């Protein structure tokens, strides 16, 4: 299912070259780094890119995953 949706195998999915339109999300914590290394479409490939450039190229939506998950019940017994 994953490869059918993205065109990439698990472990090599990158936000570029998707086989169908998918919304891409970038966590705001990426902005803490001058460069990030998302997968490059193969299990042994990565791309060096600035977070802002990455988001712009793939029209990503910035999200704060940690803030949005506070108080969310994930079903893990405590």
The predicted structure's pLDDT at residue 35: 95
How far is it, in rounded angstroms, from Cα 4 to Cα 7? 6
Span 2-62: which CATH code?
Answer: 3.90.960.10
Of 29, 15, 14, give the one whose Cα is nearest residue 69: 29
| Other C-beta atoms lying within 10 Å of the C-beta of residue 7 | 15
Domain extents in the chain: 2-62
The predicted structure's pLDDT at residue 78: 46
The predicted structure's pLDDT at residue 13: 61
Extended beta strands in 3-71, E state: 25-27, 61-63
Contact, 67 vs 76, CB < 8 A? no
Question: Mean pLDDT in each 10-residue stretch from start to end of the chain (78 residues)?
Answer: 53 66 85 87 79 92 78 51
Q: Kindly give the pairing relationship between strand 25-27 and strand 61-63.
A: parallel
């Amino acid at each position: 299912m994953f490869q059918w949706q993205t065109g990439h195998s698990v472990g090599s999915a990158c936000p570029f070259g998707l086989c169908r339109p998918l919304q891409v999300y970038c966590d705001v914590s990426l902005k803490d780094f001058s460069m990030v290394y998302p997968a490059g479409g193969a299990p042994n490939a990565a791309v060096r890119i600035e977070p802002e450039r990455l988001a712009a190229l793939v029209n990503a939506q910035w999200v704060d995953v940690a803030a949005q998950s506070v108080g969310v019940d994930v079903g893990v017994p405590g």
